[in-house]
Structure 1
Amino acid sequence: MARQSHDDPAGAESLVAAEAAVDEQEIEAALRPKRLGEFVGQQRVREQLSLVLDAAKLRNRPPDHLLLSGPPGLGKTTLAMIVAAELGMPLRVTSGPAIQHAGDLAALLSSLSEGEVLFLDEIHRMARPAEEMLYIAMEDFRVDVVVGKGAGATAIPLEIPPFTLVGATTRAGLLPGPLRDRFGFTAHMDFYSPAELEQVLRRSAGLLDVPLDRDGGAEIAGRSRGTPRIANRLLRRVRDYAQVRADGVVTADVAAAALTLYDVDEAGLDRLDRAVLDALVRRFGGGPVGLSTLAVAVGEETETVEEVAEPFLVRAGLLARTPRGRVATTAAWSHLGLVPPPGNGALGSGSSAAQPVLFDNSP
């Protein structure tokens, strides 16, 4: 969920939100690569997907249904569009929340042409009756349309042309097993390395006609949370700063000054992230502290802290969830320029992958 402060019309607080804001979707579309060879990052997924598509084209048949999972902003929608482009087929786009009745899905599927690619975003949020209809459509290319009600209801089978479903989800664990099993190819999107984000930035800078030097790209990439969407958003804001307050060239110094102005620090933390860490360390001695108490301390809703701030802080190795509550790691104290007092229980720092993350349901 993108955040924007009422006191900040520029929306600085939403710069590191991984979800796309409504007003930036058109810009995103212009920056998206159109072919698999132009897509940066996700090397293993690209190689696997290339093999699936090439084999389907050799057989002159639609490829197996594809499931793309992973955090927002990593390129799932872009890959769905690339699949249609590589196959030379039209693309139909919809989302799980838009399909609340089986009839909605039946009308959509019956209007598809042969070989068409159907992109279903947020597939885990589709209504259960429509989900059960989708099972048959994916496997047998048929939907059963129920006519009438009660004892007189009749199911009329309706054949649909072969198609390829590309499903995207940020929460693969919410997909029921029978639905996951009907996808012939499943890919998980990983966060990008700084080097990969620099490639994304160089490509976007060329499309936007932004002079970007190597150090400037590295500065932006290091603050982008491993997410191309965030990197492109930061690039546009740094471009504005460079044009208004510098000579138009995005250097490391210009990028650092611009992102400092927009409250994005060198680790990619924004105002809310730092507020959570500051409260945890300075007010509660590093924890453990309950989630609701922490939310009150930063003046935010519990859901905002848990769903917006915590995921990145945990992944960055700055915060840990334990059975007793939230605990700041040694890296969190260091990030704030502080030294944890002896015996305060701070968890040792290290790579985020090595951090033990224990989820709790306690307040």
Structure 2
Amino acid sequence: MRVPHDDGPPPPPRPPKGRKRPGERAAEAGASDMSQEPGRAALSPTVAGGEAGESLSLRPQSLAEYVGQAALKRKLEVFVRAARGRDEPLDHTLLHGPPGLGKTTMAHILAHELGVRLHLTSGPAIEHKGVLAGHLTALGPRDVLFIDEIHRLAPTVEESLYSAMEDGRIDLPVGEGTRARTIGFELAPFTLIGATTRTALLSGPLRDRFQIIEAIEFYGDDELAAIVCRTASILGVPVSGAAALEIGRRSRGTPRIANRLIRRVRDFAQVRGARSIELADATAALLELGIDSEGLDMLDRRLLTMIVENFRGGPVGVEALGASLGEPRDTLESVVEPFLLQRGFLLRTSRGRVATMKAARHLGLELPPGWQGALDL
């Protein structure tokens, strides 16, 4: 029985099928007038629901559609085919790597390739054993449970997960005091896919219970260009190969950023009245977004400039950098530094962070004599 709430006035009645509310008719009329106005851009979104709908449609559905990570795809394809041949669930899998590289997307793909349902949750959302038990008991045979940021599970929840992964059961306490007892729940055979950006924070006992442990690496510029072309095609936006490569080159090795940038470049091109995205359109839009020729954004340049000018090139501790920049340590370590380290703009030493000669040349900064970064030629 549904209990009424007094949270406010009732929602407006739905219009009959085939009819629209006045506001919707006005919005459509305005859009129609805008499309007929001379000089307007030819580019327009083609996916219903705005960018929320677009983000869902951009996710590849199979390993064949997934761009990049060739070695990882070959291994996972073997594991999936073997599991399906035995009519068994895929072994428990741990995916690790920086944010935005496609760990959640890979979980969707694995569930699709296995022909089973995917259940999504995250470490912070599983607050106690009861929540975990609710997720586990809802799984059907061979279903996939995906836990994002699995290193953030509470210790008591993690301990309950051990028996679920190894023995296919979970034990829950019932009652209190002298009447307390434990009831075991048998679980359907399932696959746990865990994702983490901080492998070092994952406890040893939990990590050892995964039979498949794979890293997702940063993407190359050509792979990101292919992702940009695929995304632009889905969005209905023509893009040249040179423009796609330029966007991919400045995407920090991360598909999530590449997809975000192609949307923003599309906006600039649309407002300028362009019928397709060319190299000049992409370059101008990325300049407006504050992303330079090496893919560094404003925070990257602030960090490197701070090391060179305020700390004489380094070394400097991450806590001092965070305080100087007004950014938390986690942001610097997990968001900013991985790309700068990969591209050779930053060194991480036992004494702290050191900006490299490449960083100084890119920023056009002069360096003091005897600077340690000069060793990195």
Q: TM-score, normalised by structure 1?
A: 0.84
State which of 214, 228, 233 in structure 2 corresponds to 1:206.
Answer: 233
**Post-superposition offset of 1:26:** 4.6
Runs of 4+ in 1 over 6 A off after TM superposition: none
Query: How is 1:168-247 mapped onto 2 (pairs within 5 angstroms)?
Result: 168-247=195-274
Please identify, of 65-74 and 278-287, the stretch whose mean Cα deviation from structure 2 is larger: 278-287
Q: Deviations over 1:200-234 (max 9, x none)?
A: 11111110111110100111011011101001111
1:66 corresponds in structure 2 to 93
CA contact (8 A) 1:239 1:248 kept: no
Among 352, 358, 375, the alignment partner of 1:331 is 358
In 2, the alpha carbon distance for the partners of 1:56 and 1:182 equals 18
1:72-111, aligned counterparts within 5 Å?
72-111=99-138
- For residue 315 of structure 1, report the CA deviation from its aligned partner: 2.7
Query: Does the aligned pair in 2 maintain the 1:331–1:348 contact within 8 Å?
Result: no
- 155-164 or 240-249, which moves further after superposition? 240-249
Q: Relative to structure 1, is the Cα distance of residues 83 and 324 closer, same or farther in structure 2, using a 3 angstrom cutoff?
A: closer
Q: Which residue of 1 aligns with 2:373?
A: 346
Q: 1:285 to 1:51 in 2, by over 3 A?
A: same
The residue type equivalent to 2:218 in the other structure is F
Q: Which residue of 2 aligns with 1:157?
A: 184
Residue by residue over 1:45-74, the C-alpha shift from the partner in whole angstroms, topping out at 9 and shown as x without a partner, is 111111111111111121211111111111
Instruction: Please say which structure displays the higher CA radius of gyration.
Output: 2
Distance 1:315 1:150, change over 3 A: farther
Matches of 2:279 and 2:143, distance apart in 1:
45
Map Cα deviations across residues 291-325 of structure 1 (whole Å, 9 max, x no partner): 45444544545554455433332332212233444
Distance in 2 between the 1:349 and 1:250 partners?
38
Q: Is the 8 A contact 2:93 2:192 kept in 1?
A: yes
Deviates more, 1:273-282 or 1:88-97: 273-282
Q: What TM-score, normalized to structure 2?
A: 0.81
Partner of residue 113, structure 1: 140
Q: 3-state DSSP class of the match of 2:372?
A: coil
Aligned-partner Cα distance in 2 for 1:190–1:96: 22
Give the counterpart letter for 2:148 in structure 1: D
* Paired amino acid for 1:263: G
Q: Which runs of 5+ in 2 are unaligned?
A: 1-49
Call closer, same or farther: CA 1:300–1:119 in 2, change over 3 Å: closer
Instruction: Quote how far apart the aligned CAs of 1:113 are.
Output: 1.4
Equivalence for 1:45:
72
AA of the residue aligned to 1:154: R
Q: Secondary structure at the match of 2:108?
A: helix
Aligned residue in 2 for 1:271: 298
CA distance in 1, matches of 2:52, 2:205: 33
2:150 matches 1:123: yes
2:187 partner letter: I
Letter in 2 for 1:286: G
Distance (whole Å) between structure 1 residues aligned to residue 207 and residue 136 of structure 2? 19
Q: Hey, what's the Cα distance between the residues in 2 that align with 1:65 and 1:301?
A: 33
What does residue 260 of structure 1 align with?
Answer: 287
* Match for residue 57 of structure 2 among 18, 24, 30: 30
Aligned partner of 2:39 in structure 1 is: none
For residues 280-299 of structure 1, what are the alpha-carbon distances to aligned partners after superposition, in whole Å with 9 as ceiling and x for unaligned?
22343323344454445445
Aligned pair in 2 of structure 1 residues 323, 158: CA closer, same or farther (>3 Å)?
Answer: closer
SS at match of 2:340: helix
Letter of the 1:269 partner, please give it.
L
SS across alignment from 1:40: coil
- Aligned counterparts of 2:239 and 2:209: Cα–Cα separation in 1: 45
Pairwise CA distance, 1:44: 1.2
CA contact (8 A) 1:191 1:227 kept: yes
Number of equivalences: 328
Tell me: CA distance 1:299–1:184, structure 2 relative to 1, closer, same or farther (3 Å).
closer
What is the distance in 1 between the residues matched to 2:52 and 2:103?
14
C-alpha offsets along residues 303-351 of structure 1, whole Å, 9 cap, x if unaligned? 544554333323322122334443221111111123534323324446x
